[in-house]
Amino acid sequence: MRKTAFITLAAACVLIGFFISAQFKESAELQMQQESLNFARPKSLKVKIESAREENDKLHEKVKHYRSELDKAAAGPELANLKQEVDTVRAFAGLTELKGPGIKVTLNDSQENLSPGDNPNLYILHDEDVLRVLNELKAAGAEALSMNEHRITALTEVRCIGPTVLINKNVRLSPPFVIKAIGDSNTLYNSLTMKGGVIDKLKFWGIEISLKKESSLAIPPYEGGMNFDYARPTQ
């Protein structure tokens, strides 16, 4: 009886020892795996960081290269010539303020007392009267024009809207109309004052006209929108 109990107890001890040994071994292996992972993770991160630094250094060198090329282009004659061309085009388009000699023309409705039966429309300024003056100045070589401090461009229209004149699509102007033109002041003046010219015809109806040569005029830039809905540059 005692022998049997002893054998059973011994077997139980061996079995318990086996389980303890197996658990200890598994725990040791798990610990070694964790330590291996903990070691491998920083190593992997270090490799990635070094790779990112190398890539960043390469990109930095590219930025320095392109910046150097841009500085060279900005200092080169090609860009200076291009800027001069752009400035010239903007001036012709009326997008920049211009200064120079020329004449100032002031037009106003007739102040004469009308006789019975006279047509009052003949004694006030109309869009066609303003157009004749502007066209004469353009034909005489005016390089820039404005009316009542609004730039006249190649796209400017002049239309009667009741007692006012409409220009640049939405600008309403009332007399007196002050037209400034930059160019050779003598040529511009003579073009308007020649016998039988536009000024003579306007004076016939009592339209008030003042012409003055100026050594320096300032023509403001066009301030409205400018776009093409249908026209496109040719290739």
The DSSP line for 67-86 is: HHHHHHHHHSHHHHHHHHHH
| 33 vs 3: which has the higher pLDDT | 33
pLDDT in the model for residue 204: 87
| 11 vs 230: which has the higher pLDDT | 230
The model's pLDDT over 188-211, given as tens digits with 9 standing for 90+, comes to 999 999 999 999 999 988 899 999
In whole angstroms, give the CA distance from residue 161 to residue 110. Answer: 19
Name the residue ranges covered by the structural domains of the chain. 1-75, 98-219
pLDDT at 40 exceeding the cut of 60: no
pLDDT in the model for residue 193: 94
pLDDT in the model for residue 27: 57
Going from the C-alpha of 32 to that of each of 18, 23, 24, 41, 54, the distances in angstroms are 21, 14, 12, 14, 33
Angle at CA of residue 133, ends 213 and 193, nearest 5°: 55
| 139 vs 87: which has the higher pLDDT | 139
For helices 127-139 and 185-193, give the axis angle rounded to 10 degrees: 130
Q: What is the mean pLDDT of residues 86-100?
A: 88
Range list of β-strands (E), 24-122: 98-108
Enumerate the H helices of 116-184 as residue ranges: 127-139
Superfamily of domain 98-219: Protein of unknown function DUF881 (3.30.70.1880)
pLDDT in the model for residue 6: 45
| 23 vs 171: which has the higher pLDDT | 171
The model's pLDDT over 1-28, given as tens digits with 9 standing for 90+, comes to 444 544 454 454 444 554 445 555 555 5
pLDDT in the model for residue 30: 58
pLDDT at 83 exceeding the cut of 50: yes
Helix or strand run (H / E) with residue 205: none
Q: Say what the pTM is.
A: 0.66
The model's pLDDT over 104-117, given as tens digits with 9 standing for 90+, comes to 999 998 887 767 76
Longest dimension (CA), the chain: 158
Q: What are phi and psi of 212, to 5 degrees?
A: -145, 125
Whole-number average pLDDT of the chain: 81
The model's pLDDT over 136-167, given as tens digits with 9 standing for 90+, comes to 999 999 999 999 999 999 889 999 988 899 99
Confidence of residue 45 (pLDDT cuts 50, 70, 90): low
| 31 vs 112: which has the higher pLDDT | 112
Q: What are phi and psi of 228, to 5 degrees?
A: -115, 125
pLDDT in the model for residue 211: 96
pLDDT at 43 exceeding the cut of 70: no
